[in-house]
Amino acid sequence: MNGVLLLSKLVLIDGNNIAYRAFFALPLLSNSKGLHTNAILGFTQMLLRLIQEEKPTHFLVAFDAGKATFRHSNYADYKGGREKTPGELSEQFPVLKELLESFGIKQFQLEGYEADDIIGTLTRIADEKNDMDVLVVTGDKDMLQLASDRVSIALSRKGISEVELHDPAYIGEKYGLKPLQIIDLKGLMGDASDNIPGIPGVGEKTALKLLHEYGSLENVLENASSIKGKLGEKVAAHVEDAKMSKDLATIYREVPLEMTWDELAYSGYDDDALAEKLRKLEFKQILERLGLSGAGLAAEGEGAQAAVAVESVLVGPDQVNALVQALPRVKALHVEVIGENPHVGEVLGAAFLVEGEPDGEEEAAPTAYYVPFSLLKDEAAAEVRAWLESEDKSVSIYDVHKASVALSWQGVELRGVSFDVLLAGYLLDPTDTTLTLSGLTSRYGMPALKSDEDVFGKGAKFKLPSDGAVSDFLCDKAAAVYRLTAKLQEELEKSEMQKLFHELELPLATVLANMERKGIKVDVEELKAYGAELSGRLESIMAAIYDSAGMEFNINSPKQLGEVLFEKLQLPVVKKTKTGYSTDAEVLEKLEPFHPVVGHILNYRTLSKLQSTYVEGLLKEVRQDTGKVHTYYRQTIAATGRLSSQYPNLQNIPIRLEEGRKIRKVFVPSQPGWRILTADYSQIELRVLAHISQDERLMEAFREDMDVHTKTAMDVFGVSEDAVDANMRRQAKAVNFGIVYGISDYGLSQNLNITRKDAGRFIEQYFAVFGGVRKYMDDIVKKARDDGYVTTLLQRRRYLPEIKASNFNLRSFAERTAMNTPIQGTAADIIKLAMVQLEERMEREGVKSRLLLQVHDELVLEVPEEELETMKAMVADVMENALKLDVPLKVDVDSGENWYEAK
């Protein structure tokens, strides 16, 4: 090593050791591409702390070059007891090294040597120069031998979140040793982590006692005969082991390093380079902490929009004309709706992002105009409202669905939206829970955007700030939509989801908004009557419970219920929690055969939930001005692509029990003489499975319109159709639907109340018969492992970073998800396609009928009597041909005076 020594502070990091500790200190994390990132994150947090606190002028991270070192030549079993490095950690090392480059930090490794030796050599040279301070960061106690007046060892504790600083004085105080005696210590006690043997039975306490008495390993060995008892015998018997152990623990400090000190100089990081790496890793908080959210974005094509400042204008009556003149250049729009539910939420206002006009060779900055809704409704803004309703534009927005619903209640129909950054962000990562505008800008490293809570507060603290503050914030939101559009379009193209976005999700948002605005009528008197009926039944059941238990108690109190069941009635305890006896549904179902009170309690809970959730809950949701409920469908919640329903949730109405089905009686047509029509896909997920797996037996069942569960029972049990009994069909049905969800032998045993062994045997029989299904399951898991994601038939992606996890439970969940996502996701895509196509056809043919609800695999419409037969044929035709599969899609169509009768 040569060159002029100018440094004043050198930081040396034991790269493999710290990465390993970071990996196990943090939970298994990954980015949207499936790359595990927990070791990188922990390492990065430590780097930032060192840069801030130590202010190094020179920096190096040393890595081990490979498994074999010169120590293996002396002792083949060196480090032989170590488990193989987890794959989730191994994959992070190349990315970590790239990140270090972005930090501007030198890294080094050399074949045949360990990181310890590189660090040891550098500390020796630094000691000889004697004009710098050195900090070694590691989790390895062996490194304490390097401590000197100039060299301190930061020994990590509790993963990497805390360090204990060791200098010679501290080592003397803690161990009563000089730094070089650490080698003697290791020679005596060995090191299990490196498979260094030492002397059997000698631990740290004994080794320290010996060294305090004799001073060195060599002196201990020479005086073995003076050491009393079995300890002396062990020392005498393992002299060579001890000497070898000391040699193995001694850091080699003569590594041939061909580098200058100038190469270790640290002058900080390049903002753009570091921001780009952190953004790919999706370290949003670190980007924000370093103020790098907007760095590195002015590079690629339209992405340069991100660096452009935006002027905001609060529009009053005098500025409306300026906005009207600029409307042809509006590229992005943000409509602010106060509250989660757009059916009752207040429209605060709208911000319009206008692209700047070129001024010579200079590109003018964009301008954002904020129009309070009070002005937007005014006659002065009639042209702005007309623009919002015009199809003759192409504009981006955040959450077109919510904006459309909220505006429609105010008499404004939003049209001409060509891109929705919320929908695009969801498609690109359906498991992301931060799909707010601020979350999306953070995801893609764009200028930081305040959150709604920062500006408005939350809950009881909600408060509208001044008009100027609102204007600036909502103009920033419109600017964020503008910046995100090009990036998200590019990402959709890379992921091959442009067609899914433009032909399904974006038009579906409008379909949903139209459905919800129409709502479905509720017969309030019928609902109240059913509530009264439930109340009477609940009183009778309560009396039966008290009679069976021999006492009155609070049935809704888990504590009191547990005391009655397990102390008074002495029923067997199935499960306990931290607070006492468990009385959940699973426990009660197991206890039902032991005492009649348990059956009464289960019945009480079922009816009580119907009363509170569906009778009382629905009554609260009926709008006085329409007599209807207007549910709010969420497109961006479920990772499989399925819709979810809120305010109220109409997808969870229980239909397995007659009491639950009766709730559907209260949903009726909104006009006299009309009917409720329902159309339900028959076994759509199994049909999708048949198509995807290309299993001949499964496809045959659907092509010949057989009962698929009977067909499965015939093939698995090897019997004729007339020999299939109810139990055989029940078992076949459980396996058929279980396969779709990646069921295990345990899960099937619970469903069928059979032993796990019998369930496993039945699953094996199933796969032996349906070989195509087994091949699909094996292939899709392998594909997920290779690609990091799976897709539906329409290319909807779901990333599965846990598919390579060493943790069995995480990996198993990811494997099951890999199996069922293409099936469930495709089924969800098909019914959504049917909704878009049906709405288009109904409009094209000019019918009066209306699409009202989507509930799982079912569509609900209201139709005039004279259109009933036309609509039955139309709905069946659209749904059965929404997507061509190699097996037919089948739809059951029914009608009635209410939703209950239509089923």
**Residue ranges of the chain that CATH labels 1.10.150.20:** 692-815
Indicate the angle between helix axes 506-518 and 808-845, nearest 10 degrees: 70
Q: What mean pLDDT comes out for the span 282-307?
A: 59
What are the helix and strand counts (H, E) for the chain?
A: 39, 27
Indicate the angle between helix axes 92-103 and 271-281, nearest 10 degrees: 160
Is residue 898 pLDDT above 60, yes or no? yes
* Higher pLDDT among residues 329 and 179, named by residue: 329
Instruction: Give residue for tokens 């039902």.
Output: 592
Q: What mean pLDDT comes out for the span 451-469?
A: 84
Is residue 124 pLDDT above 60, yes or no? yes
Q: How much is the pLDDT for 69?
A: 55
Is residue 636 pLDDT above 70, yes or no? yes
Q: What mean pLDDT comes out for the span 399-416?
A: 96
Tell me the torsion sign for CA atoms 154, 157, 161, 164: negative
Q: 59 - beta bridge partners?
A: 11
CATH class of 297-519: alpha beta
Spatial distance between the Cα atoms of 396 and 119, rounded to a whole number of angstroms: 55
DSSP 775-842: HHHHHHHHHHHHHSEEE-TT--EEE-GGGG-SSHHHHHHHHHHHHHHHHHHHHHHHHHHHHHHHHHHH
Q: Decide if 272 contacts 239 (C-beta within 8 A).
A: no
Percent helix / strand / coil, the chain, rounded to 5: 55, 15, 30
What residue spans of 704-770 are helical by DSSP H?
708-717, 726-740, 745-752, 756-769
Spatial distance between the Cα atoms of 884 and 590, rounded to a whole number of angstroms: 45
Q: How much is the pLDDT for 240?
A: 77
Spatial distance between the Cα atoms of 745 and 752, rounded to a whole number of angstroms: 11
Q: How much is the pLDDT for 25?
A: 82
**Residue ranges of the chain that CATH labels 3.30.420.10:** 297-519
Q: Decide if 481 contacts 333 (C-beta within 8 A).
A: yes
In degrees, rounded to 5, the angle at the alpha carbon of residue 637 between the alpha carbons of residues 635 and 640 is: 85
Reduced to 3 states (helix: H, G, I; strand: E, B; else coil), residue 232 is: helix
Is residue 2 pLDDT above 50, yes or no? no
Q: What mean pLDDT comes out for the span 310-326?
A: 92
| pLDDT per position as a tens digit, 54-67 | 889 999 999 987 66
Q: 30 - beta bridge partners?
A: 36
Tell me the longest C-alpha to C-alpha distance in the chain. 111
Is residue 299 pLDDT above 60, yes or no? no
Q: Decide if 580 contacts 566 (C-beta within 8 A).
A: no
Q: How much is the pLDDT for 81?
A: 46
Reduced to 3 states (helix: H, G, I; strand: E, B; else coil), residue 98 is: helix
Q: Decide if 688 contacts 737 (C-beta within 8 A).
A: no
Q: What mean pLDDT comes out for the span 568-574?
A: 88
Six-digit token pair at 10?
A: 């050198």
CATH class of 521-629+638-667: mainly alpha
Spatial distance between the Cα atoms of 98 and 91, rounded to a whole number of angstroms: 12
For the chain, give the mean pLDDT: 86
Q: Place 85 in a pLDDT band, splitting at 50, 70 and 90.
A: confident
Per residue, the 3-state secondary structure of 511-579, as one string, reads: HHHHHHHHCEEECHHHHHHHHHHHHHHHHHHHHHHHHHHCCCCCCCCHHHHHHHHHHHCCCCCCCEECC
Instruction: Give residue for tokens 């004799």.
Output: 214
Length of the chain, in residues: 903
Six-digit token pair at 688?
A: 């999708």
Six-digit token pair at 283?
A: 């370290």
Could you tell me whether strands 797-799 and 850-855 are parallel, antiparallel, or unpaired per DSSP bridges?
unpaired
CATH of domain 692-815: 1.10.150.20
Most confident option among 31-35, 37-41, 221-225, 369-373: 369-373
Q: How much is the pLDDT for 655?
A: 77
Tell me the torsion sign for CA atoms 835, 838, 844, 847: negative
Task: Please choose, from the candidates 851, 862, 842, 855, the residue with its C-alpha nearest in 3D space to the C-alpha of residue 522.
Answer: 862
**Residue ranges of the chain that CATH labels 1.20.1060.10:** 521-629+638-667
| 550 phi-psi bin (left φ>0, alpha ψ -120 to 50, beta other) | left
Q: 417 - beta bridge partners?
A: 395
Task: Please choose, from the candidates 34, 103, 493, 90, the residue with its C-alpha nearest in 3D space to the C-alpha of residue 274.
Answer: 103
End-to-end Cα spacing for the chain: 84
Other Cβ atoms within 10 Å of 821 Cβ, number:
26
Instruction: Give residue for tokens 């496809």.
Output: 699
Q: Place 578 in a pLDDT band, splitting at 50, 70 and 90.
A: low
Task: Please choose, from the candidates 432, 307, 419, the residue with its C-alpha nearest in 3D space to the C-alpha of residue 363.
Answer: 307
Per residue, the 3-state secondary structure of 235-247, as one string, reads: HHHCHHHHHHHHH
Most confident option among 217-226, 290-299, 846-855: 846-855
**Residue ranges of the chain that CATH labels 3.40.50.1010:** 9-175+252-264
Q: How much is the pLDDT for 249?
A: 81
Spatial distance between the Cα atoms of 393 and 354, rounded to a whole number of angstroms: 13
Q: What mean pLDDT comes out for the span 389-409?
A: 96
Is residue 318 pLDDT above 60, yes or no? yes
Reduced to 3 states (helix: H, G, I; strand: E, B; else coil), residue 356 is: coil
Could you tell me whether strands 395-397 and 417-420 are parallel, antiparallel, or unpaired per DSSP bridges?
parallel
**pTM of the full structure:** 0.70
Task: Please choose, from the candidates 387, 306, 278, the residue with its C-alpha nearest in 3D space to the C-alpha of residue 44.
Answer: 278
Task: Please choose, from the candidates 175, 181, 179, the residue with its C-alpha nearest in 3D space to the C-alpha of residue 152.
Answer: 179
Q: How much is the pLDDT for 294?
A: 53
Is residue 348 pLDDT above 80, yes or no? yes
Q: How many CA atoms lie within 13 A of 443 on its CB side?
A: 25
Q: How much is the pLDDT for 73?
A: 47
Q: Decide if 900 contacts 679 (C-beta within 8 A).
A: no
Six-digit token pair at 433?
A: 């829970």
Q: Place 478 in a pLDDT band, splitting at 50, 70 and 90.
A: very high
Is residue 382 pLDDT above 90, yes or no? yes
Instruction: Give residue for tokens 């292939």.
Output: 779
- Which long-range contacts (C-beta less than 8 Å, at least 24 apart) are formed by 724-732? 731/762
Q: What mean pLDDT comes out for the span 399-426?
A: 96
Please check whether the domain covering 9-175+252-264 is classified as CATH 3.40.50.1010.
yes
Reduced to 3 states (helix: H, G, I; strand: E, B; else coil), residue 335 is: strand
Least confident interval from 370-384, 496-510, 576-590, 680-694? 576-590
Other Cβ atoms within 10 Å of 387 Cβ, number:
21
| pLDDT per position as a tens digit, 787-821 | 989 999 999 999 988 888 777 777 888 888 999 99
Task: Please choose, from the candidates 802, 817, 781, the residue with its C-alpha nearest in 3D space to the C-alpha of residue 29.
Answer: 802
Indicate the angle between helix axes 771-787 and 756-769, nearest 10 degrees: 100
Task: Please choose, from the candidates 131, 252, 860, the residue with its C-alpha nearest in 3D space to the C-alpha of residue 516.
Answer: 860
C-alpha Rg value of the chain to the nearest Å: 35
Spatial distance between the Cα atoms of 647 and 343, rounded to a whole number of angstroms: 9
Q: How much is the pLDDT for 287?
A: 82
Question: What H or E segment, with its residue span, contains residue 62?
Answer: strand 58-62
- Which residues are CB-contacts of 60 (< 8 A; sequence separation ≥ 6)? 10, 11, 12, 13, 105, 106, 107, 108, 118, 122, 264
| pLDDT per position as a tens digit, 518-563 | 999 999 999 999 999 999 999 999 999 999 999 999 999 988 999 9
| 229 phi-psi bin (left φ>0, alpha ψ -120 to 50, beta other) | left
Least confident interval from 20-24, 134-138, 347-351? 20-24
Q: Place 734 in a pLDDT band, splitting at 50, 70 and 90.
A: confident
Task: List strands edge to edge, sheet with 9-14.
Answer: 106-108, 58-62, 9-14, 133-138, 151-157, 162-166
Six-digit token pair at 561?
A: 């219920």
Other Cβ atoms within 10 Å of 206 Cβ, number:
15
* Higher pLDDT among residues 76 and 276, named by residue: 276
Residue 311 backbone phi and psi in degrees, to 5: -90, 135
Spatial distance between the Cα atoms of 195 and 839, rounded to a whole number of angstroms: 70
DSSP single-letter state for residue 863: E
* Higher pLDDT among residues 247 and 408, named by residue: 408
| pLDDT per position as a tens digit, 881-896 | 999 999 999 999 999 9
- Alpha-carbon torsion, ordered 375, 376, 379, 383, to 10 deg: 140
pLDDT more than 70, % of the chain: 93
